[in-house]
Amino acid sequence: MRVLASAPAKVILFGEHSVVYGKPAIAAAIDLRTFVEAELRDDGRIRIEAHDIKVPGLTVSFSESEIYFETDYGKAAEVLSYVREAINLVLEEAGKKTGVKVSITSQIPVGAGLGSSAAVAIATIGAVAKLLGLELTREEIAKLGHKVELLVQGASSGIDPTVSAIGGFIYYEKGRFENLPFMELPIVVGYTGSSGPTKELVAMVRRRYEDMPELMVPIIEAMGKLVEKARDLITAELDEEEKLRKLGELMNINHGLLDALGVSTKKLSELVYAARTAGALGAKITGAGGGGCMYALAPGKQSEVATAITIAGGTPMVTQISREGLRVEATMP
Ligand SMILES: Nc1ncnc2c1ncn2[C@@H]1O[C@H](COP(=O)(O)OP(=O)(O)OP(=O)(O)O)[C@@H](O)[C@H]1O
Ligand SMILES: C[C@@](O)(CCO)CC(=O)[O-]
Ligand SMILES: [Mg+2]
């Protein structure tokens, strides 16, 4: 039997990084997906085919008679650790020891702040669980995805695997989530083209937090309050235009606070300011930062903002919120 499952990327609208310190955050699944096909193998081996991962630095040297591969295979194995841990956890949960092959294709840029690690973990868990006949709820799958991120990254709030498993628009705090009323968000995502590993950025913020708690604690507190304000706005009976304008203002404040944490870069700031100048109501980093992506809220100005992002050297993506999280696409004999 073969199973094909998919899971979506996400944007964190408010509260990245502070969510790791137990503060709330708001995120939405978006319509870019990672697809994982899983099938049993009877030789007991785990085989992973990752079609979108580029490991830099394949080096060979050769003389007339010999060829040497100098590539760091340790690095290649490390890149697949989200998938490996996801498979191991499901096998453990099912109490089974069997060979599995998974094949991955993805539409999500890697290390770009759009939750590619969570999507690959959730789609793998979903596909392998179905393959083994293990009945898991989306919440249970989200919890296993959180475990995978904790094992690989050392620290994770769990928001990315939760939104990837559940889908839609959510408010998240310390492992619990609530669905927010669905709203059309006219957003444009801007990709800097470079990546920032979440593990390293979270560790960098932790160092700054421990070095200067007297400065960092109030910043994290302010981020938490800002997220609560954003939730009140999203759920309020307000005129749509007024709502989006106020949310934009909160995005700009959130971006400034993230800059104070040290996770912005020159390129991210350039894309943020280009979007604001082109008429976005607000623009900020999304995800871990250090490269990766920003997003802008731009009702009626999405194409102007996309052009401004391109001129500033980024790649714009006009995306929609995905109501669906983990999806089993097909089960084949
Ligand atoms: N298609 C894929 N196939 C296999 N592994 C993947 C794939 N996509 C992502 N990964 C794993 O996830 C890692 C990137 O995760 P990381 O958390 O650093 O960034 P992100 O999830 O894209 O952004 P963020 O966590 O800020 O939202 C990759 O190095 C790789 O280990
Ligand atoms: C940076 C961070 O807050 C979001 C990454 O998308 C990390 C996490 O919540 O686990
Ligand atoms: Mg990640």
User: Residue 55: which pLDDT band, with cuts at 50, 70 and 90?
Assistant: low
Least confident residue range of 41-55, 90-104, 253-267: 41-55
Contacts of 53 (CB under 8 A, 6+ apart): 79, 80, 110
Q: What's the predicted TM-score (pTM) here?
A: 0.93
- Name the fold adopted by 2-55+70-180+322-332: Ribosomal Protein S5; domain 2 (3.30.230)
CB burial readout 11-20, b (16+ within 10 A) else e: bbbbbbbbbb
Question: Which residues make beta-bridge pairs with 37?
Answer: 4, 103
Written as one letter, the residue type at 273 is Y
Atom number in ligand 2 closest to CA 118: 6
Summarised one tens digit per residue, pLDDT across range 270-282 is 999 999 999 999 9
> Which pLDDT score, from 0 to 100, does residue 58 have?
65
Question: Which residues make beta-bridge pairs with 46?
Answer: 100
Region 302-315: mean pLDDT is 98
Cα(198) to ligand 3 centroid in Å equals: 6
124 CB near ligand 1 (under 6 Å): no
Helix (H) or strand (E) holding 12: strand 2-14
State yes or no: pLDDT of 312 exceeds 90: yes
Q: What is the 3-state secondary structure (H, E, C) of 105-133?
A: EECCCCCCCCCHHHHHHHHHHHHHHHHCC
271: left (phi over 0), alpha (psi -120 to 50) or beta: alpha
Q: What is the ipTM of this complex?
A: 0.98
> Which pLDDT score, from 0 to 100, does residue 65 have?
80
- In the chain, CATH 3.30.230.10 covers 2-55+70-180+322-332
Query: Nearest-CA neighbor of 120 among 73, 158, 86, 169?
Result: 86
User: Residue 63: which pLDDT band, with cuts at 50, 70 and 90?
Assistant: confident
User: Residue 67: which pLDDT band, with cuts at 50, 70 and 90?
Assistant: confident
- In the chain, CATH 3.30.70.890 covers 187-318
165 CB near ligand 1 (under 6 Å): no
User: Residue 319: which pLDDT band, with cuts at 50, 70 and 90?
Assistant: confident
Residues at the binding site are 109-119
Region 58-74: mean pLDDT is 73
Region 71-82: mean pLDDT is 79
**Under 8 Å between Cβ of 29 and 43:** no
State yes or no: pLDDT of 72 exceeds 70: no
Atom number in ligand 1 closest to CA 10: 27
Residues at the binding site for ATP are 109-119
Residue nearest to atom 15 of ligand 1 (CA): 117
> Which pLDDT score, from 0 to 100, does residue 141 have?
98
Can you tell me whether residue 55 is helix, strand or coil?
coil
Written as one letter, the residue type at 141 is I
- Name the fold adopted by 187-318: Alpha-Beta Plaits (3.30.70)
Catalytic residues: 160
Summarised one tens digit per residue, pLDDT across range 125-165 is 999 999 999 999 999 999 999 999 999 999 999 999 999 99
Region 73-84: mean pLDDT is 83
> Which pLDDT score, from 0 to 100, does residue 70 have?
67
**Under 8 Å between Cβ of 24 and 227:** yes
